[in-house]
Structure 1
Amino acid sequence: MKKLFFIVSIIALSITAKAQEAAKPETPKLYNPAADAKAEITAAVKTAQAQHKNVLLQIGGNWCIWCLRFNDLVTKDAELNKYMNDNFVVLHVNWSPENKNEKVLAALGYPQRFGFPVFVVLDGKGTRLHTQNSGYLEEGKGHSKAKVMEFFQGWAPAALDPKSYVEKEKAK
């Protein structure tokens, strides 16, 4: 009888554990280790040029909690999301043990030296404009909305357009 009770208890615990595991929300898969990063960047640059935007490369991996937290902030905050999508073509570039994209990152000036996530801004011609260490955007256990918006605004196409500054001078 004790053996039967023990076996039933083990089965019940096993079923409970499986049910809890199934109920956990799945971690988003933002980064694709199998993707051809070079081809995707080329396509993003072409799209950015056609849409008069810059390219925002978010380099990291699905293993990186800070990468997921950043994505969560910029996709769930309506103001950040709108500004980001109005001004950038966004591409997640994988870095993981399966695919470190070493040649692509070398061509981008080794941004991984800052840790992950790291952001690279390209213009519509594919020229690297800026590499952003995400540590400067952090606040507490996430990223600061104000700091992220300032980063976006500082590297949006209008911020880099000389006409913006000529018009400001004329207005004075």
Structure 2
Amino acid sequence: MKKLILIAFVAAFTLSARAQEQPKIYNSDADAKAEIKAAVKQAAQQHKNVLLQIGGNWCIWCLRFNDLVTKDADLNKYLNDNYVVLHVNYSKENENKAVLADLGYPQRFGFPVFVVLDGKGARLHTQNSGYLEEGKGHSKEKVMDFLKDWSPAAIDPKTYEKAK
């Protein structure tokens, strides 16, 4: 009996320690609508787009994506040069239903899901993250292609005008 109690205690302690190791990149108490408004304002001032990463701290794929784009120097630089990034929470504590409805129900693609807004707050694109996956993570090349495809330069009509 003592062995069972000891094993249960060790297992509970191990699970608790692992739960504490997970980064907390999503805030279930945040006012997503206000944060999006501020991100759009900042993007307009900096001539960037907004990248909403929608998910939760419970989502391993959300954490893996964040880990990739923050630790890979190329992705991190490109992301910061072209986007204002905002993590929008979806969890049992706060599903942000009204905000997600305004964004066209991106949760239909699972999590994480990415929504790109321009500097006026218009939704440009919703990205299913499944298309960016490779193995047990996300492909650096696919993520970079996605970021480049929806960067301010990529959607600027001047990019496509012929030189006179």
* TM-score, structure 2 as length reference: 0.90
The answer to whether structure 1 residue 48 and structure 2 residue 43 are counterparts is yes
Cα distance in 2 for residues equivalent to 1:48 and 1:90: 9
Once the two structures are TM-superposed, the CA of residue 126 in structure 1 deviates from its matched residue by 0.2
The answer to whether structure 1 residue 104 and structure 2 residue 93 are counterparts is no
Cα distance in 2 for residues equivalent to 1:12 and 1:106: 48
Cα distance in 2 for residues equivalent to 1:44 and 1:71: 18
User: What 5-or-longer segments of structure 2 have no aligned partner?
Assistant: none
The answer to whether structure 1 residue 156 and structure 2 residue 151 are counterparts is yes
The answer to whether structure 1 residue 122 and structure 2 residue 144 are counterparts is no
Q: What do the CA deviations read for 1:4-59 (whole angstroms, capped 9, x no partner)?
A: xx96x789878866875676461000111110000000000000000000000000
Larger gyration radius, structure 1 or structure 2: 1
Cα distance in 2 for residues equivalent to 1:106 and 1:18: 38
The answer to whether structure 1 residue 28 and structure 2 residue 23 are counterparts is yes
Of 164, 167, 170, which aligns to 2:163?
Answer: 170
The answer to whether structure 1 residue 95 and structure 2 residue 90 are counterparts is yes
- Structure 1 residue ranges, 4+ long, deviating more than 2 angstroms after superposition: 9-25
Once the two structures are TM-superposed, the CA of residue 165 in structure 1 deviates from its matched residue by 1.6
Equivalence map 1:58-69=2 (5 Å):
58-69=53-64
The answer to whether structure 1 residue 138 and structure 2 residue 137 are counterparts is no
Cα distance in 2 for residues equivalent to 1:155 and 1:104: 21
Partner of 1:84: 79
Residue 80 of structure 2 aligns with an amino acid whose one-letter code is N
SS at match of 1:82: helix
* TM-score, structure 1 as length reference: 0.86
Give the number of the structure whose residues are more often helix, by fraction: 1
Residue 81 of structure 2 aligns with an amino acid whose one-letter code is D
Residue 135 of structure 1 aligns with an amino acid whose one-letter code is G
User: What 5-or-longer segments of structure 1 have no aligned partner?
Assistant: 1-5
